[in-house]
Amino acid sequence: MSLAELICPAGTPAALRTAVDAGADAVYCGFQDATNARNFPGLNFTPDELAASVAYAHERGTKVLLALNTYPPAGKVDLWRQAAETGALLGVDAFIVADMGVADYIARTYPEIRLHLSVQAAASSPEAIRYYCENFGVKRVVLPRILTIPEIRQIRKEIPCEIETFIFGNHGLMVEGRCSLTNYLTGQSTNMDGVCSPASDVDYVREPDGSMSSQLAGFTIDRFGPDEKAGYPTICKGRYTAPHRPEGYYAFEEPVSLNLSRLLPELIDAGVHAFKIEGRQRSKSYVRGVVSAFRAAVDDIRAGREANMADLVALTEGQKQTQGAFQTKKWR
Amino acid sequence: MTKLTLGPIAYHWPADKRRDFYARIADEAAVDEVYLGEVICSKRAPFHEADLPTIIDRLERAGKRVILSTLAEVMLKRERKATGDLAEMDTPEIEINNAAGLFVRGKRPHRIGPFMNAYNEATIAWMVRQGATHVCLPSEMPASAIAVAAGAAHKLGLGVEVQVFGRASLAVSARCYHARAHGRTKDNCQFICEADLDGMPLRTRDDKPILRVNGIQTLSESYIDLLPEIARLVADGVSHLRLMPQTVDMVAVAKVFRDALDARVPLAEAEARLATLCGEVGLSNGFYHGEAGYRRIAMAATA
């Protein structure tokens, strides 16, 4: 049986302590700048905060993984190198990277620190994963949320590194690291700036007929009836019209959350080493609830007991959940 | 001498339309290099790959250099095989769009496609050490980054390419949005994407055009148009300018860019010709100017 490590989100020092206390095997976090893919106001760590957080985590046996998983635009590479230097100095246990230039630099400069390949690198085949393992010594790949469990099992047989998969939280459906939707509407880039559908560009507009429009940078991403709850205008979760769909429909995906709690035993059996919970932007109470529930579930499964995951549905987006691509090819 | 290139057709054009298209490109288009191959959906390839040898021969006899492009997303067995087969070919003219292709290619010469995320000088330097001879930069890169990346690549002896015309690729997924729009899945899509030769338009519910769907790919509604920026691109060291095939008259589009590149017509006239060719489709250059990609930024008035 694989270790089935629980990898938990830490958007702030308080969330990090919460995740550690709730039983995370490792937490992942980033600095307050473009070097990570959750570069949102009010989130992330100063170097001093990270120093204290690493100490807190390590005293309790929890690892700290530093996300440097965006793509430096030419001329700004130094910011990523400095972030790596700071992370190395503070004793993080691994860097999560996507850019080949960043991976090459860290592999040469800090060969003693583990490299994990971010989902932002979109490595979805054994050949792609082996490219990063053989060239940069990557020890673990975070798989894109587009593979079925049989496909993951097959990949595991053909690669020399560990596998981490998302099990809960946002259900990203565009191939990460290949998405410029936000930049097209807002001028801020997911890859270069770490920004996705930023709150600073969001407006909710009440229409004369009582309906509510959710807008991003002035574009109406969705429209809701007077009794409907208005959702956040994430571009790939909006409703649009097509020539034969004049009524408006979820062209890409409904606003649902990924929840693989029922698939945990199968994922462990397929050779997944680590489970990732998404949500660095979430509250402490959310982190506490989700991490505790998954800690209990993983421990139950490893002890051969039946796991109880009923409470997690209440924490999913709009109370709607999906197993996405993991369970069936029909999702595609 | 700056070269004009024609990128691979992103859409599912019927085989006869493709044959006619490339025959015209061979005979009439002022492009130097042509990228061929299925980059978006592996299911479509069987419809047109049998024609490839004839098309390659026709283009090469017309004096065009032909480069074969690999898939952007590699996941299924047939995708791994298709990518591996291309990367194994004993020719320098392969454009690789996925790390799986880089793995198979090893250190043999190859080009880096726009899906490879070569955003900076460190990544480009790495890629050169692995055998890359040419790099196409991501279409969302702003001018400041293009200048630094192109300068670095130029010094390393690499060809540097930037898309100057056509819809920008904004996202790819494992899910087919064409199939989804018709209540199907990718596995039983029945090739419905063939119905939308320039992508399926999505509009906001207040009826503004916003995006185009092309199978698993999402594209910009507007066509990128960097005609006004050509002089600066060339000065910054960009050696190849890429036109992406759309349903407009691409021979005429190529002529507009060729004339502008050779300074045969004033920019205003070139712009007017391009706007006429593109009809109601909006033109945009926001990415280049570090603004929202859909925007059209007017050139600052300079003396």
B80 is in which domain, residue-wise? 3-284
Distance between CA B279 and CA B218 in Å, rounded? 21
Distance between CA B5 and CA B67 in Å, rounded? 10
Count of domains observed in chain B: 1
Q: What local confidence, expressed as pLDDT, does residue B44 receive?
A: 96
Coil vs helix vs strand at B176: coil
Tell me the mean pLDDT in the region B62-87: 96
B136 is in an annotated binding site: no
pLDDT tens string B179-194: 999 999 999 999 999 9
ipTM of the modeled complex = 0.97
Query: Chain B contacts of A75, Cβ < 8 Å?
Result: 120-121, 144-145, 147-148
Answer whether residue B185 is part of any domain. Answer: yes
Task: Please indicate whether, in this complex, the C-beta atoms of A127 and B293 are within 8 angstroms of each other.
Answer: no
Scanning B1-60 for CB atoms below 8 A from A yields: none
Q: How many CA atoms lie within 13 A of B268 on its CB side?
A: 1
Closest by CA to B74, choosing from B94, B49, B99, is: B99
Q: What local confidence, expressed as pLDDT, does residue B263 receive?
A: 93
For residues B241 and B162, the answer to whether their CB atoms sit within 8 Å is: yes
The pTM is what? 0.96
Answer whether residue B41 is part of any domain. Answer: yes
Residues of chain A with pLDDT under 50: 1
The percent of residues above 90 in pLDDT, for chain B, comes to 96
The percent of residues above 70 in pLDDT, for chain B, comes to 98
Tell me the mean pLDDT in the region B202-225: 97
Q: Is A158 exposed, middle or buried (0-12, 13-18, 19+ CB in 10 A)?
A: exposed
B278 is in an annotated binding site: no
Which residue in B103, B188, B224 has the most chain A C-beta atoms within 10 A of its own C-beta, making it the best mutation to test that interface?
B103
Tokens of B192: 């419905």
B189 is in an annotated binding site: yes
For residues B2, B8, B11 and B16, what is the CA-based torsion angle, rounded to 10 degrees? 110
Q: How far is CA A144 from the centre of its chain?
A: 10
The string of DSSP letters for A220-283 reads: EEEEE-TTSPPPP--GGG-EEEETTEEEEEESS--S-EEE-GGGHHHHHHHT--EEEE--TTS-
Distance between CA A316 and CA A313 in Å, rounded? 5
Q: Does B154 touch chain A (CB under 8 A)?
A: no
Q: What local confidence, expressed as pLDDT, does residue A320 receive?
A: 79
Task: Please indicate whether, in this complex, the C-beta atoms of A330 and B187 are within 8 angstroms of each other.
Answer: yes
Answer whether residue B95 is part of any domain. Answer: yes
Residue B95: how many CB atoms within 10 A of its CB?
27
> Which amino acid is it at A41?
P
Answer whether residue B260 is part of any domain. Answer: yes
Residue with tokens 């991501």: B138
Residue B4 has pLDDT above 60, yes or no: yes
Distance between CA B79 and CA B298 in Å, rounded? 42
Which residue in B43, B117, B160 has the most chain A C-beta atoms within 10 A of its own C-beta, making it the best mutation to test that interface?
B117
Scanning A126-165 for CB atoms below 8 A from B yields: 126-128, 130-132, 134-135, 144, 146-147, 151
Distance between CA B87 and CA B112 in Å, rounded? 12
For residues A130 and A115, the answer to whether their CB atoms sit within 8 Å is: no
Tokens of A17: 């302590």
Query: Chain B contacts of A251, Cβ < 8 Å?
Result: 177, 180-181, 202, 211, 213
- State residue B246 phi and psi, 5-degree precision: -125, 180
For residues B119 and B136, the answer to whether their CB atoms sit within 8 Å is: no
Angle at B21 between CA B19 and CA B23, to 5 degrees: 70
Phi-psi bin for A324: left (phi > 0), alpha (psi -120 to 50), beta?
left
Phi-psi bin for A188: left (phi > 0), alpha (psi -120 to 50), beta?
beta
Q: What local confidence, expressed as pLDDT, does residue A266 receive?
A: 93
Residue B301 has pLDDT above 80, yes or no: no
Answer whether residue B297 is part of any domain. Answer: no
Distance between CA B100 and CA B72 in Å, rounded? 10
Q: What residues are paired with B219 via a beta bridge?
A: B169, B212
Mean pLDDT score across all residues of chain B: 96
Answer whether residue B268 is part of any domain. Answer: yes
Between B175, B203, B218, which is nearest A332 by CB?
A: B175
Task: Please indicate whether, in this complex, the C-beta atoms of A74 and B121 are within 8 angstroms of each other.
Answer: yes
Coil vs helix vs strand at B62: coil
Residue A310: how many CB atoms within 10 A of its CB?
8
Between A101, A185, A249, which is nearest B294 by CB?
A: A185
> Which amino acid is it at A282?
R
Closest by CA to A73, choosing from A185, A200, A194, is: A194
Answer whether residue B256 is part of any domain. Answer: yes
Coil vs helix vs strand at A293: helix
Coil vs helix vs strand at A217: coil
For residues A10 and A281, the answer to whether their CB atoms sit within 8 Å is: no
Q: What local confidence, expressed as pLDDT, does residue B303 receive?
A: 37
Distance between CA A207 and CA B122 in Å, rounded? 49
The CATH code of the domain that includes B67 is: 3.20.20.70
Residue B170 has pLDDT above 90, yes or no: yes
pLDDT tens string B18-55: 999 999 999 999 999 999 999 999 999 999 999 999 99
Q: What local confidence, expressed as pLDDT, does residue B220 receive?
A: 98
Answer whether residue B264 is part of any domain. Answer: yes
Task: Please indicate whether, in this complex, the C-beta atoms of A180 and B171 are within 8 angstroms of each other.
Answer: yes
The string of DSSP letters for A167-198 reads: EEEE---B-TTS--HHHHHHS--HHHH--SS-
For residues A195, A197, A203 and A208, what is the CA-based torsion angle, rounded to 10 degrees? 170
Element (H, E) at B133: strand B132-136
Q: What local confidence, expressed as pLDDT, does residue A172 receive?
A: 80
For residues B58 and B24, the answer to whether their CB atoms sit within 8 Å is: no
Task: Please indicate whether, in this complex, the C-beta atoms of A180 and B74 are within 8 angstroms of each other.
Answer: no
B41 is in an annotated binding site: yes
- What's the gap in Å between the CA of A269 and the closest CA on chain B? 21
Q: How far is CA B77 from the centre of its chain?
A: 25
